[in-house]
């Protein structure tokens, strides 16, 4: 089936391209780009819209298998395409965890059956995420895992981390580190600082993250492996990454949209949708993270989409689980906070959401070059909207409900198939193309 996208502004940071041009898609592949293309088949009039490579999330919790009351591969990927994502990396902390081939294969099969976008599984570092012995990492890699991580938990044992890095280097995949010292975190529920003192809540110090980043940077240097620091949130953590890169260590990192947008001051509301790990940090840390985005220290923006059931979050702050959803709001939050406030330009934001994540984990996608799979996102930068609590995700634990934002994802195409269309009257069944003119 052919699809012609006409009259849009195409931004492709993978080759510094920014111009009004038509895109032709044949059999799921971008085959031509040019002025006034003609074709038979479906036509999308993208006048006034921006056309970019589909976003790729390096950090998504899809919860399946085992916690389908929070999210499933079907609902999580529908949330993804509603947020402009054409691929997500699925974290390993499911039940059972993705620590063996059978789980990886189940995730890939279910994503092929009911997924609205591509799913790249992340395997566990350790068996059962227990931090005691390594998972069958080579097996996981063969089954399709694109990286390994015990995310949700740190790898406390430095020797185990060293071995994981050695195996990962051999297999040419990254180790994705949730950097936290559990002893320093000591049961904390928010950032340790002024507001934790004022609110009488136990705190997680910045040092909990920073000491572990320092350790793992040294181990990455020693093993010549690729360390990817998940959700950096402190000034010291980004400084450690910056220094390591200067020294030639293969370290990459991501930041979440909520750490870009929010600080620990907001926790005064006691909303459990402001409880996540790492916690929201004070303004000086947020500023340091934003500087690191501007100077290129931060490679990618991720969501750490962590759906929870309403009942699980509808408890006292102390008792609520960590985590917030993010797939459906990440672009608009980042466009608002980074581009509209002139910290970075639009092509750089698109790079952080698509090309750079692809490069960082060595994934397909992140480009609109002819011959590439047609994974494409359409944006309306002028549309203002209010975030409501109706999500494609099964969960609604978003800190951004009620926020008015500008810049919105209007359609998402995965492999040449329109998987999300904001103006479509009903949610699309996964895998079914919709014939529609805009
Ligand atoms: Zn984490």
Burial annotation 167-178 (CB, 10 A radius, 16+ → b, else e): bbbebebbbbbb
Q: What is the pLDDT of residue 425?
A: 53
Distance between Cα 419 and ligand 1 center (Å): 28
Read off the tokens for 172.
Answer: 């040419």
Per-10-residue mean pLDDT for the chain, 438 residues long? 93 96 96 88 94 98 97 98 98 98 98 98 98 97 98 96 98 98 96 97 98 98 98 98 98 98 97 97 98 97 97 95 97 97 97 98 96 97 95 96 97 97 63 45
Sheet holding 300-302, edge to edge: 175-177, 227-229, 251-256, 300-302
Task: List, as ranges, residues with CB under 5 A of the ion ligand 1.
Answer: 151, 178
Distance between Cα 359 and ligand 1 center (Å): 21
Distance between Cα 302 and ligand 1 center (Å): 11
**C-alpha distance from residue 109 to each of 115, 173, 361, 413 (Å):** 9, 22, 21, 20
Q: Which residue has the tokens 């591969």?
A: 73
Of 173, 174, 170, 175, the closest CA to residue 160 belongs to 175
Name the CA dihedral angle for 81, 87, 92, 98, rounded to a multiple of 10 degrees. 110
Distance between Cα 153 and ligand 1 center (Å): 7
Distance between Cα 89 and ligand 1 center (Å): 13
Q: What is the pLDDT of residue 436?
A: 46
Of 74, 62, 68, the closest CA to residue 98 belongs to 62
Give the residue numbers marked as catalytic.
304
Contact of 85 with 55, CB cutoff 8 Å: yes
Name the CA dihedral angle for 121, 125, 130, 132, rounded to a multiple of 10 degrees. 160
- Greatest CA separation for the chain: 65
Q: What is the pLDDT of residue 423?
A: 81
**pTM assigned to the model:** 0.95
Q: What is the pLDDT of residue 260?
A: 98
């Amino acid at each position: 089936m052919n699809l012609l996208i006409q009259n849009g502004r195409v931004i492709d940071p993978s080759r510094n391209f920014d111009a009004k041009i038509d895109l032709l898609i044949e059999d799921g592949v971008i085959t031509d780009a040019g002025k006034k293309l003609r074709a038979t088949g479906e036509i999308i009039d993208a006048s006034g819209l921006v056309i970019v490579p589909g976003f790729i999330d390096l950090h998504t919790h899809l919860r399946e298998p085992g916690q389908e009351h929070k999210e499933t591969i079907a609902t999580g990927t529908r949330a993804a395409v509603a947020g402009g994502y054409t691929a997500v990396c699925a974290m390993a902390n499911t039940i059972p965890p993705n620590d063996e081939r059978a789980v990886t294969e189940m995730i890939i099969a279910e994503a092929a059956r009911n997924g609205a976008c591509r799913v790249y599984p992340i395997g566990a570092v350790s068996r059962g995420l227990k931090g005691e012995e390594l998972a069958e990492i080579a097996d996981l890699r063969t089954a399709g895992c694109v990286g390994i991580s015990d995310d949700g938990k740190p790898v406390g044992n430095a020797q185990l981390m060293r071995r994981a890095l050695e195996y990962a280097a051999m297999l040419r995949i990254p180790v994705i580190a949730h950097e936290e010292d559990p002893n320093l975190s000591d049961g904390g529920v928010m950032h340790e600082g002024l507001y934790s003192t004022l609110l009488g809540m136990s705190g997680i110090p910045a040092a909990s993250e920073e000491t572990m980043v320092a350790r793992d940077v040294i181990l990455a240097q020693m093993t010549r492996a690729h360390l990817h620091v998940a959700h950096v949130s402190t000034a010291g953590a980004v400084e450690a990454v910056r220094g390591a890169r200067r020294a030639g260590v293969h370290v990459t990192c991501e930041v979440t949209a909520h750490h870009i947008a929010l600080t620990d001051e907001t926790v005064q509301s006691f909303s459990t949708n402001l409880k996540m790990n790492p916690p929201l940090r004070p303004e000086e840390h947020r500023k340091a993270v934003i500087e690191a985005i501007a100077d290129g220290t931060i490679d990618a923006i991720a969501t750490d989409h962590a759906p929870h059931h309403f009942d699980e979050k509808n408890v006292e702050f102390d008792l609520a689980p960590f985590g917030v959803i993010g797939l459906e709001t990440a672009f608009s939050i980042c466009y608002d906070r980074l581009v509209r406030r002139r910290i970075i330009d639009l092509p750089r934001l698109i790079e952080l959401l698509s090309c750079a994540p692809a490069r960082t984990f060595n994934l397909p996608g992140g480009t609109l070059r002819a011959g590439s799979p047609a994974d494409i996102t359409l944006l309306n930068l002028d549309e203002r909207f209010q975030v409501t609590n109706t999500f494609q995700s099964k969960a609604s634990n978003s800190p951004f409900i009620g926020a008015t934002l500008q810049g919105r994802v209007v359609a998402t195409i995965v492999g040449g198939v329109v998987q999300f269309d904001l103006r479509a009257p009903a949610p699309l069944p996964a895998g079914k193309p919709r014939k529609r003119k805009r």
